[in-house]
């Protein structure tokens, strides 16, 4: 997958410029940097949600995203959230719900779940899409330490079982170090990205 | 701890209706003018007589069919227009003056024009009613479309949900409260306009019968037809609209599973 952004701006404010990123299949990459620097913007560009930029994104294959907010359909059951969004079978959905340890919530509405549970459902939905590229936007933010650590374990297990190219946006260097093989950090002064 | 249900039950509604009938009977008794205001008992007797002759059901059926047809047409077209206007600012800019114009067009003008342009036909009658209601539905659905959750739209895009699937699972459930509000106000408005349409240019229906008995100054039968159709509409509300609304919004309840 190759991302080339000549310029991305909101009005007069340039967010990204002369930026290139290549991520190999099955590579696990973390994007870090301070808030407002353009990490989520980059993720939206890769996901195809933001097309107002100069440059191009190629070779992503099938994309799935786990957003910072779980963005589940509150009027559909947990199982239906997986089958409707990804087209997977009910059996496959149940398998993934078992994998994220939430099989017992399959018939419940998302509104009855905690934030941590909803994030795990969102993660299960992303894997249900059998993605070539998996984009995660701060999936562990606002979770307490134990829940966050458990969810990171689940992510690593799922990635072992269902390999995909991973791009993880996070503020936490520890999360990035644990999950990613490569960490890319935005340099605040130059507005260019550097690999570490 | 089990929660107490403090909502008044059907018994209160029944008592309220009983109080209304009592008040009506009292006023009729004081007025002592059966031609101007018959008692509830007289109206009940007339209702049984109209039922027995088959007239009441025939005319109620005709009005109900027109109401349902106009309702479905107005809700479908109005929702489509509102959805497009609420999500596309350019269409909204072009369509808004039309919508304001149509909202302020008196029902009587639409009815007269439809009868003149299309003729005294069933199509003209239903079209006139639907045209009156479409701008109201469109306005309400436009508000609903403006309130659509952007993050869910993004999710649908990423996972490739398009067309009917997106409409069914992502868009329409968000519009359900607007559909319910629009449906409820729509039904009450539509049947009143249907009566005017029948009054002016049909040979059956509740409006036609009211026209007949108005000319004969038969207040009793005017009340028979008016009250009967109010009861039909209450049944539609209780047996169709409310159960649908409960089902569409059951995920909002704290005990939802």
The model's pLDDT over A130-160, given as tens digits with 9 standing for 90+, comes to: 999 999 998 888 788 888 888 899 899 999 9
Count structural domains, chain A.
1
CA distance B151 to A114: 19
Whether residue A174 is contained in a domain is answered as: yes
Q: Does pLDDT of B1 surpass 50?
A: no
Q: Is residue B104 part of a domain?
A: yes
Is B92 within a domain?
A: yes
What is the model's pLDDT at position A141?
83
Instruction: Note the pLDDT tens digit of each residue in B4-14.
Output: 555 667 788 88
Is residue B162 in a domain? Answer: yes
Please report how the helices A145-161 and A90-99 are oriented relative to each other, as an axis angle in degrees rounded to 10.
Answer: 130
Host domain of residue B112: 39-250
**A:B CB pairs within 8 Å:** 54
Residue A171 lies in a domain: yes
Coil vs helix vs strand at A18: strand
CB-closest option in B152, B157, B252 to A49: B157
Would you say residue B48 lies in a domain? yes
Confidence at residue B127, expressed as pLDDT on a 0 to 100 scale = 94
**CATH assignment at residue B158:** 1.10.3720.10
CB within 8 Å of chain B, chain A residues 128-167: 129
Cβ pair B256:A64 closer than 8 A: no
The answer to whether residue B237 is domain-embedded is yes
CB A85 to CB B165 under 8 A?
Answer: no
pLDDT at A139: 87
**Distance between CA B200 and CA B124 in Å, rounded?**
12
Q: Do B252 and A111 touch (CB under 8 A)?
A: yes
ipTM confidence score = 0.88
Q: Are B257 and A109 a contacting pair at CB < 8 A?
A: yes
Are B67 and B192 a contacting pair, CB within 8 Å?
no
Name the token pair of A96. 């993934």
List strands edge to edge, sheet with A182-187: A63-66, A133-137, A165-169, A28-32, A182-187, A192-195
Q: What percent of chain A has pLDDT over 90?
A: 60
Given a cut of 50, whether residue B141 has pLDDT beyond it is: yes
- Name the pTM for this structure: 0.78
CB-nearest to B154 from A49, A63, A109 is A49
A65 with B155: Cβ contact below 8 A:
yes
CB B190 within 8 A of CB B207: no
Looking up residue A152, the CATH number of its domain turns out to be: 3.40.50.300
Q: Which residues of chain A have pLDDT under 50?
A: 190-191, 196
The greatest distance separating any two alpha carbons of chain B, rounded to the nearest whole angstrom, comes to 73
CA distance A164 to A126: 11
Do the domain assignments include residue A97? Answer: no
Element (H, E) at B48: helix B40-53
In B128-157, the residues whose Cβ lies within 8 Å of chain A are 151-152, 154-157
Domain membership of residue A35 as a residue range: 2-62+131-195
Taking residues B22-46, report their average pLDDT: 91
Whether B9 is covered by a domain: the verdict is: no
Question: Which residues of chain A make contact with B176, given a CB cutoff of 8 A?
Answer: 75
Q: Quickly state the pLDDT bin for B250 (edges 50, 70, 90).
A: confident
B177 at A interface, C-beta within 8 A? no
User: In this complex, do B173 and A73 lie within 8 Å of one another by their Cβ atoms?
Assistant: yes
> Is the minimum CB–CB distance between A63 and chain B shorter than 8 Å?
yes
Q: Has residue A103 been placed in a domain?
A: no
Mean pLDDT of B155-183: 90
The distance of B166 to chain A (nearest Cα, Å) reads 9
Please report whether residue B31 resides in a domain: no
Angle at B148 between CA B146 and CA B152, to 5 degrees: 150
B90 touches chain A (CB under 8 A): no
Beta carbons of B155 and A85 less than 8 Å apart: yes
In a domain, A41, yes or no: yes
Q: Is B88 on the interface with A (CB under 8 A)?
A: no
Is position B243 within any domain?
A: yes
DSSP code at position A102: -
Tell me whether residues B161 and A85 touch, CB distance under 8 A. Answer: yes
Residues of B in contact with A75 (CB under 8 A): 173, 176, 248, 251
Name every chain B residue with its beta carbon within 8 A of the beta carbon of A74: 251-252
A45 with A8: CB under 8 angstroms? yes
The whole-angstrom distance between B76's CA and the closest CA on chain A is 22
- A147 near A163, Cβ under 8 Å? no
- What pLDDT sits at residue B7? 62
The count of structural domains within chain B is 1
Q: Chain A: nearest CA to B257, how far in angstroms?
A: 4
Whole-number pLDDT of residue B249: 80
């Amino acid at each position: 997958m190759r991302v080339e952004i000549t310029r991305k701006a909101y009005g007069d404010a340039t967010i990204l410029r002369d930026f290139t990123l290549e991520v190999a299949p099955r590579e696990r990459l973390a994007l870090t940097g301070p808030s407002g620097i353009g990490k989520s913007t980059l993720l939206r560009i890769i996901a195809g949600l933001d097309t107002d930029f100069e440059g191009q994104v190629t070779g992503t294959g099938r994309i799935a995203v786990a957003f910072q907010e779980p963005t589940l359909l509150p009027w559909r059951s947990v199982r239906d959230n997986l089958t409707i969004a990804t087209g997977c079978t009910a059996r496959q959905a149940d398998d993934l719900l078992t994998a994220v340890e939430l099989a017992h919530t399959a018939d419940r509405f998302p509104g009855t779940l905690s934030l941590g549970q909803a994030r795990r459902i969102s993660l299960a939905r992303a894997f249900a899409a059998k993605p070539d590229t998996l984009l995660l936007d701060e999936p562990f933010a606002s979770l307490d330490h134990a829940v966050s650590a458990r969810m990171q374990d689940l992510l690593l297990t799922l990635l072992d079982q269902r390999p995909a190219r991973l791009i993880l946006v996070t503020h936490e260097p520890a999360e990035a170090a644990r999950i990613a093989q490569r960490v890319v950090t935005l340099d605040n002064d130059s507005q260019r990205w550097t690999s570490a | 701890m089990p929660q107490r249900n403090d909502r008044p039950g059907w018994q209160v509604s029944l008592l309220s209706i009983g109080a209304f009938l009592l008040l009506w009977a009292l006023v009729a008794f004081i007025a002592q003018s059966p031609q101007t205001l018959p008692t509830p008992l007289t109206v009940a007797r007339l209702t049984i007589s109209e039922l027995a002759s088959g007239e009441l059901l025939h005319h109620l059926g005709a009005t109900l069919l027109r109401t349902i047809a106009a309702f479905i047409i107005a809700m479908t077209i109005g929702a489509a227009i509102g959805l497009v206007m609420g999500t596309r600012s350019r269409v909204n800019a072009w369509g808004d003056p039309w919508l304001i114009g149509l909202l302020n067009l008196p029902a009587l003008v639409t009815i007269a024009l439809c009868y003149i342009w299309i003729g005294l036909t069933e199509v003209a009658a239903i079209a006139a009613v639907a045209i009156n209601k479409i701008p109201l539905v469109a306005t309400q659905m436009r508000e609903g479309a403006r309130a659509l959750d952007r993050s869910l739209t993004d999710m649908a895009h990423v996972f490739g949900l398009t067309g009917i699937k997106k409409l069914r699972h992502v868009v329409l459930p968000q519009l359900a409260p607007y559909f319910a509000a629009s449906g409820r106000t729509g039904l009450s408005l539509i049947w009143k306009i249907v009566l005017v349409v029948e009054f002016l240019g049909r040979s059956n229906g509740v409006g036609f019968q009211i026209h007949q008995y108005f000319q004969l100054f038969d207040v009793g039968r005017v009340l028979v037809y008016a009250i009967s159709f109010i009861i039909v509409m209450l049944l539609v509300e209780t047996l169709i609209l409310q159960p649908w609304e409960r089902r569409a919004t059951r995920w909002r309840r704290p005990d939802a599973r």
